[in-house]
Amino acid sequence: MEEDVYTYPRDPVIPYLAFDVIYYSTIPGLSFFGNLFTFIIVCKIAQYRQNVQDALVGSLALNDVLTVIIVMTPTLIAEMRGKYFGSRIFCEFSAVTTVWYIYTTFAIIVLISVERWLAISKPFLYKRLAITPIYIKGFVGLQGCFCLLLASIPLFIYPVTLKAGWYCAMTNFIRTNMTAVINGSILVNVTKTVAYPVPEVIYIKIAFLFVGIVLLVACNISIAYQLTKKKGFDIRSNRLERQFAKLMGVVAVIFLLTWLPNLFARFACANGLNKCDVVEFYAMRVVMMGVAANPLVYGFMKKTYRRGYIYLMRMTVHYASFKLIPIPPYGEEIFDLRESVAGRLNSVSRSSAKLPSESSA
């Protein structure tokens, strides 16, 4: 690859100033601190209880934090410098990790949907499987290794190019500018497209994405149906299952809404779409917006995370101001979500005590 592609993209896209200001003033910071705080909250909660759902949320948050560091940070630096941050090897590394992030996020969200479907629709089977946080972490690790392999294979087949949004990506075609010269006179600049069709790699990707999307949609539809059937129950464990299922259902929908445009843009550009660089530029920005959306969803739908975000922000401001701003009046006891045995028995007895009166009514 030519060295000049690291100085300026081949087809630069100049976005609207208002879009640039809003995007860079909110998305990178919210993506990094929001997901970092989410991961810290999960670690704090794990000191008091071990929970499969917490392990899944923590894995997703950690993956998003690494995405901000590896994918978004070099892009932001290159945007400010007007020159790509890194060498050809770093560009290839960035291209692989970008795909790796998308695949791993997708795999974790599918795993969450399958786990929730088992817990709600097949509770006896779920208990018999004895799924623990350690098993979940190990399975997520295996998913990450598989996704890394799937993301790395195309690197040995497809060329890596610098896109207009200052990020690197693997493509199945590369455009080269050629100048036709006859008798020492320059006639016209010609753009030549060289294709690299490798159907086997495309088939593997399609199979992976198709199976994942089917599982994701089917599990969430089944979960929504089961939650509607069990709506009359008020036992706390069932209520928590409903809340977590709704939370992760929203996360799954947001991921699909922010990721599918990028997938469609890739296929469209591979088939000769006009203004391809503009479409890919904004499609990739939408993907990065999805990284920032998860903490907002957690904070909006879960009181635990909302209180945790406020606490961590106040502690960050406290130390950033050299302790001039006081710490919050409460401490890390807000992360202790354990429920006493007596409290559980009382809640169950209260719910069972209502049944005779309801039946007599």
Per-residue pLDDT tens digits of the chain, which is 361 residues long:
444 555 555 556 777 888 888 998 899 999 999 999 999 999 999 999 888 999 999 999 999 999 899 888 888 888 888 788 777 888 889 889 988 988 999 999 999 999 989 988 888 888 888 889 999 999 999 999 999 998 898 888 888 888 888 888 887 655 555 555 555 555 455 444 455 555 566 677 778 888 999 999 999 898 888 877 765 444 455 677 778 888 888 999 999 899 888 888 877 776 767 777 888 888 889 988 999 999 999 999 999 999 999 999 999 999 999 989 999 988 889 999 876 433 443 444 444 444 444 333 3
CA separation, residue 96 to residues 5, 24, 104, 123, 218 (Å):
18, 23, 12, 38, 29
CA–CA distance, 260 with 5 (Å, rounded to integer): 27
* Nearest C-alpha neighbor of 34 from the set 288, 337, 312, 318: 312
Q: In which region does residue 332 sit, left (phi positive, over 0), alpha (psi from -120 to 50) or beta (all else)?
A: alpha
Q: How far is CA 194 from the centre of its chain?
A: 33
Give the CA distances from residue 240 to residues 173, 256, 304, in Å, rounded to whole numbers and listed in that order.
49, 24, 12
The helix, strand and coil proportions of the chain, stated in percent and rounded to the nearest 5, come to 75, 5, 20
Q: How many residues does the chain have?
A: 361
Sign of CA dihedral 265, 268, 269, 275: negative
| Beta carbons of 48 and 335 less than 8 angstroms apart | yes
Q: What pLDDT, on a 0 to 100 scale, did the predictor assign at position 259?
A: 87
- 160: exposed, middle or buried (C-beta count within 10 Å: 0-12, 13-18, 19+)? buried
Evaluate if pTM is beyond 0.85: no
Give residue 200's pLDDT. Answer: 60
Q: Let me know: does 42 contact 120? Beta carbons within 8 Å.
A: no
Q: Rounded distance, CA 212 to CA 106, Å?
A: 8
Q: What are phi and psi of 16, to 5 degrees?
A: -65, 145
| CB-based contact 276:323 (threshold 8 Å) | no
CA–CA separation, 19 vs 7, rounded Å?
Answer: 23
What CA–CA distance (Å, rounded) separates 338 from 49?
7
Residue type, 99: V
Residue 341 pLDDT: 37
pLDDT of residue 199: 57
> What is the pLDDT at residue 63?
93
pLDDT computed for residue 183 by the predictor: 52
Beta-strand runs (E) in the chain: 160-162, 168-170, 173-182, 185-195
Q: How many other CB atoms are found less than 10 A from the CB of residue 280?
A: 25
CA triple 290-136-146, angle to 5 deg:
65
Q: How many CB atoms lie within 10 A of CB 172?
A: 18
